[in-house]
Amino acid sequence: MDDAEFRATLVDYIRTRACVNAADEDVYMRFLEKQAVLEQATAVQQLASVRRVQALVAEINSEVENLRICGLTKLYNVCSFVRSQPKPGFHAQTKWVVCCVSSLTTSECVVMGENSEWCVDVSFRPFLQMLWIVSHVDSIEYSKFVLFVNSRPATEKTIDSLRHIEKSAAYVCDAHVAAYMTAFQHVLATLRSTIHHFTHAALGAPGLHESSAAALISHAPGAHVAACMPARQDCTKAAPPRL
């Protein structure tokens, strides 16, 4: 899909997740499916947005798995670790270490893990941030919904809160949509390009060794990424919203 269609899909998805977070997810999705069968326009649109985003996430997960299959083990391990983390901890530190992805010495790195077991050159940070975002879209939207509901009057009904979201430009702000677009597009394109260049050697053309393939991932645009990065916020669903 083109950028305009992708943006519209993400806007629909964000509003749909608000409805999901206000109810039981399974119940609401079954409701959407029934309404879509009856060709109710809003339900068809919402369901389509959810399925498109889910398909993109599944595609990225498949490409990460392809890193392991084609032998890019270091990249795969770091990507798997980032995807599993509930908090987006990517703070840079100044110290001399060997990058666990490129195997090159660096004086500025991102240290991750409870025991600082992952030290990655700071040039990888934008890509890792974007990978974290696309792996936690539902959790980010849940956290945003909790903050929104808790900012509303205590006596406001859930349906009224959702109506406010439907009309609110702030809830579906351009910066968040741009961050999601950048993250999905760049992560998918970078993983595909890295795997393609690495496996090209198998067809008889000059290929890349793992440290060279890592260089492709290190060239990631940082624009918009910070827009929807919770500041070390735990994005697990531990605390239900006040409804």
Is 107 contained in some domain?
yes
Mean pLDDT of 127-148: 95
Is 224 contained in some domain?
yes
Return the percentage of the chain with pLDDT > 70, whole number.
Answer: 82
What pTM did the predictor assign? 0.83
Report how many domains make up the chain: 1
Give the structural domain span for 97: 57-228
Is 243 contained in some domain?
no
pLDDT of residue 239 exceeding 50: no
- Render pLDDT for 49-92 as a digit per residue (tens, 0 to 9): 999 999 999 999 999 999 999 889 999 999 999 999 998 888 89
Total H helices, total E strands in the chain: 9, 3
d(CA 48, CA 32): 10
Within 70-168, where are the H helices? 73-84, 125-135, 137-151, 158-167
Is 143 contained in some domain?
yes
Say what the pLDDT of residue 8 is.
95
Is 49 contained in some domain?
no
Say what the pLDDT of residue 179 is.
95
Is 238 contained in some domain?
no
d(CA 53, CA 39): 21
- Render pLDDT for 149-175 as a digit per residue (tens, 0 to 9): 999 998 999 899 999 898 888 899 999
pLDDT of residue 198 exceeding 90: no
Distances from the Cα of 211 to the Cαs of 86, 105, 123, 126, in angstroms? 28, 12, 13, 18
Is 8 contained in some domain?
no
Is 37 contained in some domain?
no
pLDDT band at 242 (very low <50, low <70, confident <90, very high): very low
DSSP-derived 3-state class of residue 104: coil
Instruction: Give the chain's radius of gyration (CA, Å).
Output: 20
Note the residue count of the chain: 243
